[in-house]
Each structure stands twice: as structure tokens, then as C-alpha cells.
Amino acid sequence: MYIAQAFKGLHELWRYVVGLIIAIAGVFVFSIPHGVAIMFKTMQSGSIDPSKMNDPAYIMQLFESNINLVFILLPFAGGLLFLLGAVKWLHKQSFTSLTTARPKIDWKRFWVIFFFWGILSSSLVLIDYYMSPEDYVFNFKLQPFLILSIIAILLVPLQTSFEEYLFRGYLMQGIGVSSVHRYFPFVFIFSLLGIFGYLFLSSYFDLLLWETSLYFIGYGGFMLYFLNSKIAEKVSESEGYLKLYSGLKRNFTPLIITSVVFGLLHIANPEVDKLGPIIMVYYIGTGLFLGIMTLMDEGLELSLGFHAANNLFTALLVTADWTAFQTHSIFKDLSDPQAAEFMDIFMPVFVMFPIMLFILSRVYKWTDWKGKLFGKVIELPKEDDKVLQEINEIGRV
């Protein structure tokens, strides 16, 4: 089982909290060049409006398209680097066990779905172009496109790999192995209450970064105090709590959580302002599709290939004024996105993704859907000292 691979390393809950903080730190560190560039531009021209710096569309206009793309993608490369470092040194877990339950990474799977989805998605765009040419402008310019191609080929796979290794890898495994802990339902409920509480407060007050940090630090401290109290011990022995514990200790718990969080983290994308909250169906649905693919195939290879193809081919082929990637692509989409709501949101999630899962299940002979998606998380037995030593050696490779 893919989730059970995390039991081969050090998997205490606190390690995943620290590892997540390390990954986020990597994102911030590699965002520094963008901040420095904005500072220099402000000093040179003084034309930047500080009040609009929270507007993604405004930020996209500050620099030339290819330079903007580098600034956008660099933080993801930093996040990936820091995350893999945390996995190796904090968890003593091998890169292979984070990627797959197979003895070694099957890169053939990656390339199969990469070219399959890349060709299919590109063909759909070209068909739409020939059917509705008035909705597109031929945007091709050789030199900017060649520069774009180099940037995209080098950095887009790092961006998509960071998201896959973070959500379908690190958090999927981390939440899965944490769900076997006796107090996981408490952590789950407290986390939900904490997030909803923050959303409620932020809707009435303009919370600053330090105020947000104090809120979560204080809330986290209260949660830890409660988990070590007599009340938590007594409640955890009740029949209702034990049923909840048994219900959450299943593969669908990390699947649902990572899919929803993956979708919600895209809420700042320009597409959300243009299409409205309905696009969350696409983002969360895509996360669910990638998560199901990971659990059924016992590895990240397919989700890595799909995500890389989806973003890379899109960046090279078509752009629009309201998308997250503003690139020197071959075509520019001028159509009203509201008119394509069904084709762009519901068609992929409810038609194309299920068909793809069916095709992949036939190609790779997936079995035991119920067990892999809804079965209990398999807890590997504790290793003796000799095996633990071998695990630590693997983590150093």
C-alpha cells in the first residue's frame, strides 16, 4: 500500500508539521528574487502602486511575460528542494518510498500519461480553434516562444512535482499514518474548527501576518494542552469516539483532505475572479482525480506525468488575460470564459477524468477499488533495531 510506505521512515505527527513548515519556508526563500525585483523597479520608476500588490493580475503586469513566469515558478522549485530535504533528513525516508510502493520508480508510467494527456488536451484546443477561430488570436512570436519553451520545460515540471509530492505524496502519507494515532479525531476536529474560526475572524477583521501567526500558535498550543488533559483521555474511551476513530482511520481520509486543500489553495488564482467559486469544482475534482490515481496505482508516477503535461502543454499552447500563466504561447484565448463553463469545468471532472481512470485501470490492471480507496490504513509492524538501522541508511542515500 502506498500510504503505508511512510511507516518505513520516522513518521511522528510533529515531523510532518515541521516538514510542512520547512517546505513553506523554501517557497518564501525562493520568492525573494521576485520581491527584490519589485523593490528595484519601485526605486527606479516609482510607478508601482503598493495598494494593488495583493492583486495577482496587477503583479502579472509588472514584468515581461517570460520574466514573470520565472518569478512565479521559482518558489515552487524552492518548495520542492526543501520538502525533499525534510523527507531525507527529518523522516529518514527514501525518495523512492515517497514516490511509489514499487521497488523502484516506474518512469515509463510518467511518460505514458505525459504524452497521452499532452496530446489529447492539445488536440482538444486545436479542434476548438478550428471550430471557433473567432475566439482565438494567433500569438506566435519565434524568439519569445523559444525562451518560453526553455523556461517552461525547466521549471514547470518542478512546479507540478512540488504540488504532487506535497499533496499526493507527503501529506497523503502523513495524514494517512497519523490517522492510526489514538487522538487523530481530536486533531481533525480541532483543525477544522481552527480553520473555520480563522475564516470567520478574517471576514470581519483585516488580520495582519503577525496576528494570523499568533492565532494559529495560540490555537495550536490550546490543542496540545487539551490532548494531554484528562478530558481527552476520558472522551477517547467513549463508544462514539471509538467509532469516529475507526471511521477516520481509512484511506479516504487523506484522499478527501488533500483534495479539498489542494483545490482551496488555488483560490487566489485569477481564474477564480473571472469564473467565480464554481471553478472550485474543477480544482477539487482534479485533486480527487489525482489522489484516486495515486492510491489505485500505488505511486505518484501517473499523477506526476499528468500534472506536468497539463501545465506544460497549456503554457506553450494557449494563454488568456484571466489565467494564472500569462505566456508567449502559440494562441491567445479571447472567448468569454463564462460561456465555456461546462466544457472547462464540468466536462473534465465528470466525464473525461472518470473515462481516464477507467482506461488506466484496464492498462495497469487495477483491482480492489474498495480496499484501496475506503479500506483501513495498513499499519506496518514496528521494526526491530536492525531494521530501523537499515531504514536510516536508506534515508541517507
The residue with greater pLDDT, 280 or 342, is 280
Task: Select from 192, 212, 237 the last residue of a domain.
Answer: 237
Which regions of the chain does DSSP assign to beta strands (E)? 136-138, 318-319, 331-333
In eight-state DSSP terms, residue 269 is S
Amino acid 395: pLDDT: 40
| Residue written as grid cell 489514538 | 182
Q: Could you tell me the pLDDT band of residue 339, with boundaries at 50, 70 and 90?
A: low
| Residue written as grid cell 494542552 | 225
Asked if residue 139 lies in contact with residue 329, where contact means CB atoms within 8 angstroms, the answer is yes
Is 25 in the same domain as 146?
Answer: yes
Is 101 in the same domain as 155?
Answer: yes
**C-alpha–C-alpha distance, residues 300 and 290, integer Å:** 9
pLDDT at 381 over 70: no
Is 232 in the same domain as 377?
Answer: no
300 belongs to a structural domain: yes
Question: In the chain, count of helices (H) and strands (E)?
Answer: 21, 3
Range of weakest confidence among 316-325, 343-352, 360-369: 316-325
Is 74 in the same domain as 207?
Answer: no
**C-alpha–C-alpha distance, residues 213 and 338, integer Å:** 37
102 belongs to a structural domain: yes
Is 159 in the same domain as 64?
Answer: yes
Is 309 in the same domain as 224?
Answer: no
194 belongs to a structural domain: yes
Residue 140 has φ and ψ, to the nearest 5°, of -70, 125
Is 11 in the same domain as 63?
Answer: yes
Q: Could you tell me the pLDDT band of residue 58, with boundaries at 50, 70 and 90?
A: low
Is 216 in the same domain as 174?
Answer: no
Its domain, for residue 305, covers: 3-180+249-395
Residue 299 has φ and ψ, to the nearest 5°, of 180, 170
Asked if residue 317 lies in contact with residue 178, where contact means CB atoms within 8 angstroms, the answer is no
CA nearest to 159, candidates 291, 347, 314, 299 = 314
187 belongs to a structural domain: yes
User: What's the CA dihedral at 133, 137, 143, 148 to 10 degrees?
Assistant: -90
242 belongs to a structural domain: no
244 belongs to a structural domain: no
Task: Select from 195, 216, 237 the last residue of a domain.
Answer: 237
243 belongs to a structural domain: no
Is 192 in the same domain as 341?
Answer: no
pLDDT at 274 over 80: no
Q: How far is CA 253 from CA 98, 175, 288, in A?
A: 18, 8, 12
In this prediction the pTM is 0.89
Is 172 in the same domain as 222?
Answer: no
Count of domains in the chain? 2
- Bridge partner list, 137: 332
Is 127 in the same domain as 198?
Answer: no
Is 204 in the same domain as 302?
Answer: no
Query: How far from the centroid of its chain's Cα atoms is residue 170's Cα?
Result: 10
Q: Could you tell me the pLDDT band of residue 391, with boundaries at 50, 70 and 90?
A: very low
